[in-house]
Amino acid sequence: MPEGVEQIVTAVPTGAALGAVIEGVDLSRPLDDETFAAVHAAWIEHGVVVFRGQTLTDADFVAFSSRFGKLDHAPIMENGQTMVDGVPELYVISNIVRDGKPIGSLGAGEASWHTDMSYEERPPKASALYALEIPPEGGDTCFLNMYAALEALPEDLRRRLEAASVRHDSSVNSGGYLRAGFDEVVDVSEAPGASHPAVPLHPESGRPVLYLGRRLNSYVEGMKVGESEALLDELWAHVEQERFTYRHRWQVGDVVLWDNRCTMHRRDPFDASTRRRLHRTQIQGERPRAA
Ligand code: SIN
């Protein structure tokens, strides 16, 4: 889109439990304040926003992500790298192997439901993915509306959770890979990682929301391990219902931005002989506060 042409933002709801497709915005150009305010409002309302058909350099993608706040440095990738092409904010999600070494993380397997980097004391409030190579089949990313999951919880379970804190394990990533420098967790009550309220208040929408991180090695503080496992199993069986989700079928050039404070996401497996490559940024957030 040429300089000086007004961008008229339209947010079209996906029709699923969350998410909207934003039309009329070229992310390779700096967003003016009005356009940014419209995109930001849509993101808070829908939890996930999708922009199709973008052509971005790494610098464009970082600049767009930075409009939402300071960027976190990416976590260590499975190949031990902490940055890509000299850009510490970029994380590569890919199954591609170059010169015998994976260029990124998560391979071609399933990535289980999670919220990015929730094991940090101050987890990123948002993440964005930019699709560079997409396989012909598989590798869809599903998103889950954690406001809706909380609102549909049985009242007694919700009350138990309102006083609870959950430990978010940092030893494994969502592909189930043990991170460099960590030991395998044998007792979840000793898992490394930050604890957060199970029902924090979203700082921008003001709404209470369920905040779970990921299931593996998760632990409800202060409970016996068996009791914590039973509560978490009940909770996860509830949240993993299709009625709370949106399925994103990727196209090259898609940018998807999601709110880590009120959504979770997972990724379908795909044929390992096909190529998938996306760049991810993560935008700094604050410590979750109980509702
Ligand atoms: C992620 O969990 O951040 C990556 C999801 C994906 O590969 O689609």
Segment 142-158, tens digit of pLDDT: 999 999 999 999 999 99
Least confident of 5-9, 39-43, 268-272: 5-9
Cα gap 236→269, rounded to integer Å? 20
Is the model more confident about 16 or about 116? 16
Cα gap 120→217, rounded to integer Å? 15
* Amino acid 178: pLDDT: 84
Nearest ligand 1 atom to alpha carbon 276: 7
Nearest ligand 1 atom to alpha carbon 127: 3
Measured in angstroms, how far is the CA atom of residue 83 from the centroid of ligand 1? 17
Residue with token string 């420098």: 181
Average pLDDT across the chain, whole number: 93
DSSP secondary structure letter of residue 109: S
Q: Give yes or no for a contact between 283 and 68, defined as CB atoms under 8 angstroms apart.
A: yes
Nearest ligand 1 atom to alpha carbon 93: 7
Percentage of residues in the chain having pLDDT higher than 90: 80
Residue 1 has pLDDT above 50, yes or no: no
Measured in angstroms, how far is the CA atom of residue 280 from the centroid of ligand 1? 8
* Amino acid 6: pLDDT: 58
Measured in angstroms, how far is the CA atom of residue 187 from the centroid of ligand 1? 27
Nearest ligand 1 atom to alpha carbon 139: 8
pTM for the predicted model, two decimal places: 0.93
In this prediction, residues 5-9 reach a mean pLDDT of: 68
Q: Give residue 86's pLDDT band: very low, low, confident or very high (50, 70, 90).
A: confident
Q: Which residues line ligand 1 (CB under 6 A)?
A: 93, 106, 111, 116, 141, 174, 265, 267, 280
**pLDDT tens track for 167-218:** 999 988 877 788 878 888 888 998 899 999 999 999 999 999 999 999 999 9
Q: Which of the given ranges, 75-79, 160-164, 251-255, has the highest pLDDT on average? A: 251-255
Nearest ligand 1 atom to alpha carbon 114: 2
Measured in angstroms, how far is the CA atom of residue 267 from the centroid of ligand 1? 6
Task: Choose one of 117, 141, 266, 275 to mutate for the ligand 1 pocket test, by most ligand atoms within 8 angstroms of C-beta.
Answer: 141
Measured in angstroms, how far is the CA atom of residue 100 from the centroid of ligand 1? 22
* Amino acid 244: pLDDT: 98
Is the model more confident about 184 or about 284? 284
Cα gap 257→265, rounded to integer Å? 12
Nearest ligand 1 atom to alpha carbon 174: 2
* Amino acid 3: pLDDT: 52
Structure-derived torsion over alpha carbons of residues 286, 164, 290, 287, reported in degrees to the nearest 10: -10
Q: Give yes or no for a contact between 128 and 280, defined as CB atoms under 8 angstroms apart.
A: yes
In sequence order, what DSSP letters do the residues of 34-55 get, joined into one string?
Answer: HHHHHHHHHHHHHSEEEE-S--
Measured in angstroms, how far is the CA atom of residue 213 from the centroid of ligand 1? 14
Residue with token string 């590798």: 139
Measured in angstroms, how far is the CA atom of residue 227 from the centroid of ligand 1? 31
Q: Give residue 82's pLDDT band: very low, low, confident or very high (50, 70, 90).
A: low
